[in-house]
Amino acid sequence: MNKFIINIFCVLSLFSCSYIDKNRIAPGYVEAFNSLKLLVYGDDSSIAPEVIKEIPYASMLVKIGNGPKALMILEKISDDEYTWVSADEIYLVTRNGRIIKTAGLPNNLKEIISPFNGWNSELFRINDFVSYKTFTDPPLNNLKVVSNYFLNNPAEEDLLFGSKTLKLIEEEIYSGEVGWSETNKYWLDNDNFVWKSVQHISPRLPEIYIEITKKPR
């Protein structure tokens, strides 16, 4: 089994590939992660919602490619950046529901330079919205990515804990430098909070599905 597959498995299973380092995880998270061990991973129906409800932290389900869903917990909020962590010290940093930085993946997003400033109507009036992404493992600096945004009508969407009326914003991305094109999807409520998304953050990684299971306060 190659390193890429092993690391992806660690992201999704959370507990099978390493232990919890109490010196690096914030106080209280150890108890939360111990509770998460009660989850049985497999198909989506095997995740126990009652366990997630009992965890006293904001959380989200994460699914990479065809792997099973697993849970990540909000570690901190700083300057509108939300840092989510797994027991294996995999980190996803989001802003406005968009992944802007990662750590612990086989190919990590180090930085995004982008004029993106939230979910506003200006997005849909701009053609060829340009950002630059820098990656590690292996390094790739300032990859130019062009985005175009499209707004869909609100619709009822199923979530783990019921359904919500959400609007879908699609982001078509393209990088001519590496021949990479995908469509990201974000489901937002009337307050522009992203409840779930499908994001392609790297040409070397499969899509990442995110669903908020407990909203940050």
Query: Residue 69: which of 81, 60, 80 has the closest Cα?
Result: 60
pLDDT digits (tens, 9 = 90+) for 57-85: 899 999 888 877 888 999 999 999 999 99
- Between CA 128 and CA 171 the distance in angstroms is 11
9 has a pLDDT exceeding 70: no
- Between CA 19 and CA 207 the distance in angstroms is 26
Q: Is 138 helix (H, G, I), strand (E, B) or coil?
A: coil
Q: Which whole-number Å values give the CA distances from 109 to 36, 49, 183, 202, in the listed order?
A: 27, 30, 18, 7
Give the domain ranges of the chain. Answer: 3-214
Say what the pTM is: 0.81
pLDDT for residue 47: 59
| 170 touches 153 (CB < 8 A) | no
Fold of 3-214: YmcC-like fold (2.40.360)
pLDDT level of residue 183 (50, 70, 90 thresholds): very high
Residue 41's region, left for phi above 0, alpha for psi from -120 to 50, else beta, is beta
